[in-house]
Amino acid sequence: MMKSLSLFAFFCIISVAAASTAYPSVPGLDSGDCGLTGDETLLVPPRREVYDAGRIFDISHKYTPELPVWESKEGLANFLWLAVSMKNGSRANGSAMQIGAHTGTHVDAPGHFYDNYFDAGFDVDSLDLRLLNGLTLLVDVPRDTNITAEVMKSLNIPKGVNRVLFRTLNTDRRLMFKKEFDTSYVGFMEDGAKWLVENTDIKLVGVDYLSAAAYVNSVESHLVFLESREIILVEGLKLDGVPAGLYSLNCLPLRLVGSEASPIRCILIG
């Protein structure tokens, strides 16, 4: 028992001394909180949306049962379960999950709407990581309309800008926090997608709901965006509380060979 207490005290000192914003101290072992209470309910894991005093923003949505799913009223529901449990005698805990590739914050590959591209292997593993990482512009879209050619013109996005995140009424309405799918979300109309392709240098399009395309133009706008295999769509971004402007974007999808989409973790660094 004494050896255990000594080890605990040593670990407590090291933990407090080494604590930083990048490596927070172990919950329950913060300065002034090194007592042995025996109450495990006091262990509270840190969860953050913003890091380093507002310099880093996590713009990926959490995977919860309430996360909306395309054309579903039930949301993601019971997608995660503990397949093996220490409470049931296993040596370790091991979770399993079942989700669609287009769930939550995710990226589309060309094979999503082009079957010949899908058969040829244009999957998420073929996407250019250079496009998914780099200087990015976050813009606010007029709140009373889908993204049309007229809207795109009004945004005055400079030539040479390769990555743009479009914040819309979807963020104001917090649609990604409502489990029932909403067909009235804001997205690109076909003419807006065409204007972007023909008049800008944008190669990464980021949006704040489950589809870059407006519901009424779901197929048409996707076909415009994905035809050249040069534009990457990142959908379901969490853009609330992030000031408009220039950032460094860092997005990494899973290397799902053979899949036309993948969940993706994205952050902005100001």
Q: What pLDDT shows up at residue 39? A: 57
Share of the chain above pLDDT 70, in %: 85
Q: What pLDDT shows up at residue 146? A: 97
Please state the domain count of the chain. Answer: 1
Give the DSSP per-residue string, the chain.
Answer: -HHHHHHHHHHHHHHHHH--SSSPPPTT-STT-------GGG------SEEGGGTEEE-SPP--TTS--TT-SS-S-S-EEEEE-GGGT-SS-EEEE---TTSSSEEE-GGGT-HHHHHHT--GGGS-HHHHEEEEEEEEPPTTS-B-HHHHHHH-PPTT--EEEEE-HHHHTTGGG-SS--TT---B-HHHHHHHHHH----EEEESSS-SB-GGGHHHHHHHHHTTS--EEEES---TT--SEEEEEEEEE---TT-SEEEEEEEEE-
Q: Over the stretch 5-30, which tens digit does the pLDDT of each residue have?
A: 344 333 343 333 334 443 343 344 34
Classify residue 159: in a domain, yes or no. Answer: yes
Q: How far is CA 145 from the centre of its chain?
A: 24
Classify residue 55: in a domain, yes or no. Answer: no
Classify residue 134: in a domain, yes or no. Answer: yes
Classify residue 179: in a domain, yes or no. Answer: yes
Q: What is the CATH number of the domain that holds 210?
A: 3.50.30.50
> Residue 217 — left, alpha, or beta (φ > 0 → left; ψ -120 to 50 → alpha)?
alpha
Please give the residue range of the domain that contains residue 178: 106-269
Classify residue 24: in a domain, yes or no. Answer: no
Q: In this structure, are residues 34 and 17 in contact, taking their beta carbons and an 8 Å threshold? A: no
Classify residue 3: in a domain, yes or no. Answer: no
Q: In this structure, are residues 248 and 134 in contact, taking their beta carbons and an 8 Å threshold? A: yes
Q: Over the stretch 199-254, which tens digit does the pLDDT of each residue have?
A: 999 999 999 999 999 999 999 999 999 999 999 999 999 999 999 999 999 999 99
Arithmetic mean of pLDDT over the chain: 89
At residue 34, does pLDDT exceed 60?
A: no
C-alpha separations of 90 from 40, 96, 163, 223 in Å: 20, 15, 47, 49
Q: What pLDDT shows up at residue 40? A: 61
Q: Over the stretch 54-84, which tens digit does the pLDDT of each residue have?
A: 899 999 999 999 999 999 999 999 999 999 9
Classify residue 167: in a domain, yes or no. Answer: yes
User: Model's pTM, two decimal places?
Assistant: 0.84
Classify residue 79: in a domain, yes or no. Answer: no
